[in-house]
Amino acid sequence: MASRPKQPDPRPAPRLYVFTPRLGDVTAFARTLAIALGAADIAAVLLRLAPADEGSLIKRAKALGPVVQDKGAALLLEAHADLVARARADGAHVTGLADFAEALERLKPDWIVGVGGLESRHDAMLAAEQGADYVMFGEPQAGGERPSLAAIEERVAWWAELFEIPCVGYAATPLEVRPLARAGADFVALGDWLWQNDAAIASTLAAASRDLRSPETVA
Protein backbone atom coordinates (compact mmCIF):
# COMPACT_ATOMS: atom_id res chain seq x y z
CA MET A 1 0.00 0.00 0.00
CA ALA A 2 2.60 2.47 -1.21
CA SER A 3 2.30 6.24 -1.52
CA ARG A 4 0.95 7.53 -4.80
CA PRO A 5 3.39 9.20 -7.23
CA LYS A 6 3.82 12.94 -6.94
CA GLN A 7 1.85 15.13 -9.33
CA PRO A 8 1.68 15.54 -12.30
CA ASP A 9 1.96 11.76 -12.68
CA PRO A 10 -1.51 10.20 -12.89
CA ARG A 11 -2.49 8.27 -9.80
CA PRO A 12 -2.69 4.49 -10.11
CA ALA A 13 -6.10 2.94 -10.55
CA PRO A 14 -7.78 2.50 -7.17
CA ARG A 15 -7.86 -0.95 -5.61
CA LEU A 16 -10.11 -2.88 -3.27
CA TYR A 17 -9.64 -3.36 0.46
CA VAL A 18 -12.03 -5.77 2.16
CA PHE A 19 -13.16 -6.03 5.76
CA THR A 20 -13.94 -9.51 7.03
CA PRO A 21 -16.95 -10.16 9.25
CA ARG A 22 -16.10 -10.32 12.94
CA LEU A 23 -14.87 -13.89 13.09
CA GLY A 24 -14.84 -16.52 15.79
CA ASP A 25 -14.32 -19.80 13.96
CA VAL A 26 -12.37 -18.98 10.80
CA THR A 27 -12.42 -22.48 9.27
CA ALA A 28 -15.54 -22.06 7.16
CA PHE A 29 -14.68 -18.48 6.22
CA ALA A 30 -11.28 -19.45 4.82
CA ARG A 31 -12.93 -20.94 1.73
CA THR A 32 -15.19 -17.90 1.28
CA LEU A 33 -12.21 -15.59 1.55
CA ALA A 34 -10.24 -17.62 -0.98
CA ILE A 35 -13.10 -17.25 -3.46
CA ALA A 36 -13.10 -13.49 -2.96
CA LEU A 37 -9.35 -13.19 -3.41
CA GLY A 38 -9.53 -15.22 -6.59
CA ALA A 39 -12.32 -13.08 -8.01
CA ALA A 40 -10.75 -9.60 -7.93
CA ASP A 41 -7.60 -7.58 -7.37
CA ILE A 42 -7.70 -7.08 -3.62
CA ALA A 43 -4.88 -5.09 -2.08
CA ALA A 44 -5.57 -5.79 1.58
CA VAL A 45 -7.82 -7.71 3.95
CA LEU A 46 -8.73 -6.31 7.35
CA LEU A 47 -9.19 -9.24 9.71
CA ARG A 48 -11.76 -8.48 12.39
CA LEU A 49 -11.77 -11.00 15.20
CA ALA A 50 -14.38 -11.77 17.82
CA PRO A 51 -13.09 -11.40 21.40
CA ALA A 52 -10.98 -14.28 22.70
CA ASP A 53 -7.74 -14.97 24.54
CA GLU A 54 -4.50 -14.04 22.81
CA GLY A 55 -3.66 -17.59 21.81
CA SER A 56 -6.99 -18.05 20.04
CA LEU A 57 -6.70 -14.72 18.25
CA ILE A 58 -3.23 -15.57 16.99
CA LYS A 59 -4.35 -19.01 15.87
CA ARG A 60 -7.23 -17.54 13.85
CA ALA A 61 -4.98 -14.99 12.16
CA LYS A 62 -2.37 -17.60 11.30
CA ALA A 63 -5.06 -19.80 9.77
CA LEU A 64 -6.10 -17.06 7.35
CA GLY A 65 -2.66 -15.58 6.72
CA PRO A 66 -1.62 -17.87 3.87
CA VAL A 67 -5.04 -17.57 2.23
CA VAL A 68 -4.51 -13.81 1.98
CA GLN A 69 -0.77 -13.46 1.56
CA ASP A 70 -0.35 -16.17 -1.05
CA LYS A 71 -2.58 -14.03 -3.28
CA GLY A 72 -0.29 -11.04 -2.81
CA ALA A 73 -2.66 -9.15 -0.51
CA ALA A 74 -1.74 -7.66 2.85
CA LEU A 75 -3.30 -9.16 5.98
CA LEU A 76 -4.02 -6.43 8.52
CA LEU A 77 -5.45 -6.92 11.99
CA GLU A 78 -8.16 -4.63 13.27
CA ALA A 79 -6.53 -3.19 16.39
CA HIS A 80 -4.38 -5.88 18.10
CA ALA A 81 -1.14 -4.17 17.10
CA ASP A 82 0.52 -6.18 19.86
CA LEU A 83 -0.30 -9.44 18.05
CA VAL A 84 0.87 -8.56 14.54
CA ALA A 85 4.31 -10.14 14.74
CA ARG A 86 3.18 -13.33 16.46
CA ALA A 87 0.22 -13.66 14.09
CA ARG A 88 2.50 -13.23 11.05
CA ALA A 89 0.27 -10.46 9.78
CA ASP A 90 1.45 -7.56 7.65
CA GLY A 91 0.26 -4.81 9.94
CA ALA A 92 -2.65 -3.31 11.81
CA HIS A 93 -5.48 -0.88 11.28
CA VAL A 94 -6.30 1.21 14.34
CA THR A 95 -8.88 3.82 15.26
CA GLY A 96 -7.99 7.25 16.58
CA LEU A 97 -4.73 9.03 17.23
CA ALA A 98 -4.10 7.54 20.67
CA ASP A 99 -4.17 3.93 19.47
CA PHE A 100 -2.28 5.01 16.36
CA ALA A 101 0.61 6.40 18.43
CA GLU A 102 0.84 3.13 20.35
CA ALA A 103 0.76 1.07 17.16
CA LEU A 104 3.54 3.17 15.63
CA GLU A 105 5.80 2.40 18.57
CA ARG A 106 5.16 -1.32 18.25
CA LEU A 107 5.17 -1.78 14.50
CA LYS A 108 7.19 0.80 12.63
CA PRO A 109 9.18 0.43 10.44
CA ASP A 110 8.60 -3.25 9.78
CA TRP A 111 4.81 -3.44 9.51
CA ILE A 112 1.96 -1.46 7.99
CA VAL A 113 0.07 0.93 10.26
CA GLY A 114 -3.17 2.41 8.92
CA VAL A 115 -5.55 4.62 10.84
CA GLY A 116 -9.21 5.57 10.73
CA GLY A 117 -11.64 7.23 13.10
CA LEU A 118 -10.06 10.60 12.31
CA GLU A 119 -12.45 13.29 13.45
CA SER A 120 -10.96 16.24 11.60
CA ARG A 121 -8.67 17.23 8.78
CA HIS A 122 -6.12 18.18 11.40
CA ASP A 123 -6.17 14.66 12.86
CA ALA A 124 -5.63 13.17 9.42
CA MET A 125 -2.68 15.46 8.76
CA LEU A 126 -1.16 14.60 12.13
CA ALA A 127 -1.44 10.89 11.34
CA ALA A 128 0.29 11.43 8.01
CA GLU A 129 3.08 13.48 9.58
CA GLN A 130 3.65 10.81 12.22
CA GLY A 131 4.06 8.01 9.69
CA ALA A 132 0.69 6.47 8.79
CA ASP A 133 0.83 4.20 5.77
CA TYR A 134 -2.71 5.24 4.91
CA VAL A 135 -5.66 7.11 6.36
CA MET A 136 -9.25 5.90 6.13
CA PHE A 137 -12.36 8.02 5.81
CA GLY A 138 -15.97 6.99 6.27
CA GLU A 139 -15.83 3.79 8.29
CA PRO A 140 -18.66 3.41 10.82
CA GLN A 141 -18.15 4.23 14.47
CA ALA A 142 -18.82 1.62 17.15
CA GLY A 143 -22.50 2.53 17.20
CA GLY A 144 -22.80 2.41 13.41
CA GLU A 145 -22.82 6.18 12.84
CA ARG A 146 -20.84 7.64 9.95
CA PRO A 147 -20.69 10.88 7.98
CA SER A 148 -22.83 11.37 4.89
CA LEU A 149 -21.46 10.07 1.61
CA ALA A 150 -21.11 13.65 0.40
CA ALA A 151 -18.96 14.52 3.42
CA ILE A 152 -16.78 11.46 2.87
CA GLU A 153 -16.35 12.29 -0.82
CA GLU A 154 -15.34 15.82 0.12
CA ARG A 155 -12.75 14.58 2.60
CA VAL A 156 -11.33 12.03 0.12
CA ALA A 157 -11.11 14.63 -2.66
CA TRP A 158 -9.33 17.09 -0.36
CA TRP A 159 -6.84 14.44 0.67
CA ALA A 160 -6.18 13.19 -2.86
CA GLU A 161 -5.52 16.71 -4.07
CA LEU A 162 -2.94 17.58 -1.42
CA PHE A 163 -1.25 14.48 0.01
CA GLU A 164 0.87 11.61 -1.26
CA ILE A 165 0.01 9.14 1.52
CA PRO A 166 -2.83 6.91 0.28
CA CYS A 167 -6.36 7.26 1.52
CA VAL A 168 -9.04 4.61 1.85
CA GLY A 169 -12.70 5.44 1.37
CA TYR A 170 -15.12 3.12 3.14
CA ALA A 171 -18.10 2.08 1.00
CA ALA A 172 -21.11 1.24 3.16
CA THR A 173 -23.03 -0.04 0.12
CA PRO A 174 -22.16 -1.11 -3.44
CA LEU A 175 -23.48 2.22 -4.68
CA GLU A 176 -20.73 4.10 -2.84
CA VAL A 177 -17.80 2.40 -4.60
CA ARG A 178 -17.83 4.50 -7.75
CA PRO A 179 -18.31 7.89 -6.03
CA LEU A 180 -15.42 7.23 -3.65
CA ALA A 181 -13.14 6.12 -6.46
CA ARG A 182 -14.18 9.15 -8.51
CA ALA A 183 -13.39 11.41 -5.54
CA GLY A 184 -9.81 10.13 -5.52
CA ALA A 185 -9.60 7.24 -3.05
CA ASP A 186 -6.55 5.06 -3.61
CA PHE A 187 -8.39 2.13 -2.03
CA VAL A 188 -12.10 1.51 -1.52
CA ALA A 189 -12.99 -0.61 1.50
CA LEU A 190 -15.91 -3.02 1.31
CA GLY A 191 -17.64 -3.99 4.54
CA ASP A 192 -20.09 -6.63 5.72
CA TRP A 193 -22.40 -6.24 2.73
CA LEU A 194 -19.84 -8.10 0.60
CA TRP A 195 -20.43 -11.32 2.54
CA GLN A 196 -24.21 -11.36 2.70
CA ASN A 197 -24.62 -13.88 -0.13
CA ASP A 198 -21.81 -16.40 -0.65
CA ALA A 199 -23.04 -17.24 -4.14
CA ALA A 200 -22.81 -13.59 -5.19
CA ILE A 201 -19.37 -12.71 -3.81
CA ALA A 202 -17.53 -13.12 -7.11
CA SER A 203 -20.10 -11.11 -9.08
CA THR A 204 -20.24 -8.42 -6.40
CA LEU A 205 -16.47 -8.02 -6.51
CA ALA A 206 -16.48 -7.97 -10.30
CA ALA A 207 -19.03 -5.14 -10.21
CA ALA A 208 -16.97 -3.23 -7.64
CA SER A 209 -13.86 -3.66 -9.78
CA ARG A 210 -15.70 -2.25 -12.80
CA ASP A 211 -16.82 0.72 -10.73
CA LEU A 212 -13.23 1.41 -9.69
CA ARG A 213 -12.10 1.47 -13.29
CA SER A 214 -15.01 3.23 -14.96
CA PRO A 215 -13.79 6.07 -17.23
CA GLU A 216 -14.71 8.86 -14.85
CA THR A 217 -12.70 7.35 -11.95
CA VAL A 218 -9.35 6.85 -13.69
CA ALA A 219 -7.18 9.79 -14.63
Write the secondary structure of 47-88 as one string of H (helix), E (strand) and C (coil).
EEECCCCHHHHHHHHHHHHHHHHCCCCEEEEECCHHHHHHHC
- Mean of the pLDDT values across residues 126-151? 94
Helix (H), strand (E) at residue 97: helix 97-107
Q: Is the per-residue pLDDT at 6 higher than 60?
A: no
- Output the pTM of the full model: 0.93
> What percent of the chain shows pLDDT beyond 70?
93
* Per-chain mean pLDDT for the chain: 93
- pLDDT-derived band of residue 85, with 50, 70 and 90 as boundaries? very high
Query: For residue 2, which phi and psi values (nearest 5 degrees)?
Result: -85, 160
Q: Is the per-residue pLDDT at 205 higher than 60?
A: yes
Fold held by 15-217: TIM Barrel (3.20.20)
> Over the stretch 101-118, which tens digit does the pLDDT of each residue have?
999 999 999 999 999 999
Can you tell me the distance from the alpha carbon of 42 to that of 35, in angstroms, rounded to the nearest whole number?
A: 12
Q: Is the per-residue pLDDT at 92 higher than 50?
A: yes
Spans of all domains in the chain:
15-217
Q: Which of 2-16, 81-95, 177-191 has the lowest mean pLDDT?
A: 2-16
